[in-house]
Amino acid sequence: MARNSPASPPRGSPRFVLAATVLAGLVILGAGVFLVLTMRDNPRGAGGTALASAIGGPFHLTDQNGNRVTDADLKGKWSLIYFGYTHCPDACPTALNDIAVALDELGARRAAVRPVFITVDPERDTPEALKSYVASFDAPILALTGTQQEVAQAAKAYRVYYAKHPEPGGDYSMDHSSVIYVMDPEGRFTASFTHESSPEQIAERLKKLLT
Contacts with other proteins, residue ranges (CB under 8 A): 40-44, 46-47, 86-91, 93-94, 96-98, 100, 129, 131-137, 161, 165, 167-169, 171, 173, 175-179, 194-195
The Cα 177–Cα 161 span in angstroms is: 5
The Cα 49–Cα 190 span in angstroms is: 10
Q: Would you say 8 or 97 has its CB closer to other proteins? A: 97
Residue 18 CB, nearest distance to other proteins (Å)? 39
Please state the separation of Cα 73 from the chain's center in Å. 19
Q: Return left, alpha or beta for 154; rule: phi > 0 is left, psi -120 to 50 is alpha, else beta.
A: alpha
The Cα 171–Cα 169 span in angstroms is: 6
> Comparing C-alpha atoms, which of 71, 75, 106, 85 is closest to residue 210?
106
Q: Would you say 61 or 102 has its CB closer to other proteins? A: 102
Q: Would you say 90 or 211 has its CB closer to other proteins? A: 90
Residue 108 CB, nearest distance to other proteins (Å)? 24
Residue 86 CB, nearest distance to other proteins (Å)? 5
Residue 154 CB, nearest distance to other proteins (Å)? 17
